[in-house]
Amino acid sequence: MTGRLSGRTALVTGAAQGIGKAIATRLAADGAKVVVSDINAEGGKELATAIGGVAIAADISDPVAVKSLFEGIAAKAGGIDIVVNNASIVPFIPWDEVDLAHWQRIIDVNLTGTFLVTRAATDMMRQQKKQGRVISISSNTFFAGTPNMAAYVAAKGGVIGLTRALATELGKYGITVNALTPGLVESDGVKVSPHNEAFGFVEMLQAMPGKGQPEHIADVVAFLASDDARWITGQTINVDAGMVRH
Say if CB 224 and CB 190 are below 8 A apart: no
Q: Does 226 bind ligand 4PL (CB under 6 A)?
A: no
Catalytic annotation present for 173? no
Say if CB 224 and CB 178 are below 8 A apart: yes
Q: Does 190 bind ligand NAD (CB under 6 A)?
A: yes
- From residue 53 to residue 82, the character string flagging contacts with ligand NAD as x (rule: CB under 6 A) and all else as - is ------xxx---------------------
For ligand 4PL, the nearest residue by Cβ is: 139
- From residue 155 to residue 184, the character string flagging contacts with ligand 4PL as x (rule: CB under 6 A) and all else as - is ----------------------------xx
Q: Which of 14, 87, 152, 159 is catalytic?
A: 152
Calpha distance 66→137 (Å, rounded): 18
Q: Does 178 bind ligand NAD (CB under 6 A)?
A: no
Distance spanning both ends of the chain, measured CA to CA: 38
Residues contacting residue 20 through CB under 8 Å, at least 6 positions apart: 12, 13, 14, 38, 84, 86, 87
- Output 11 or 32, the one with its CB closest to ligand NAD: 11
* 3 state DSSP class of 50: helix
44: left (phi over 0), alpha (psi -120 to 50) or beta: alpha
Burial letters 40-53, b for 16+ CB under 10 A, else e: eeebbbbbbeebeb
Q: How far is the CB of 99 from ligand NAD (least distance, A)?
A: 19
**Taking CB within 5 to 8 Å according to partner kind, which of ligand 4PL, ligand NAD, none is near residue 111?**
none
Q: Site residues (CB under 6 A) for ligand 4PL? A: 90, 139-141, 144, 146, 183-184, 195, 198, 202
Residues noted as catalytic:
152
Instruction: Provide the binding-site residues for ligand NAD, judged by CB under 6 A.
Output: 13-14, 16-20, 38-40, 59-61, 86-90, 109, 113, 137, 139, 182, 184-185, 187-190
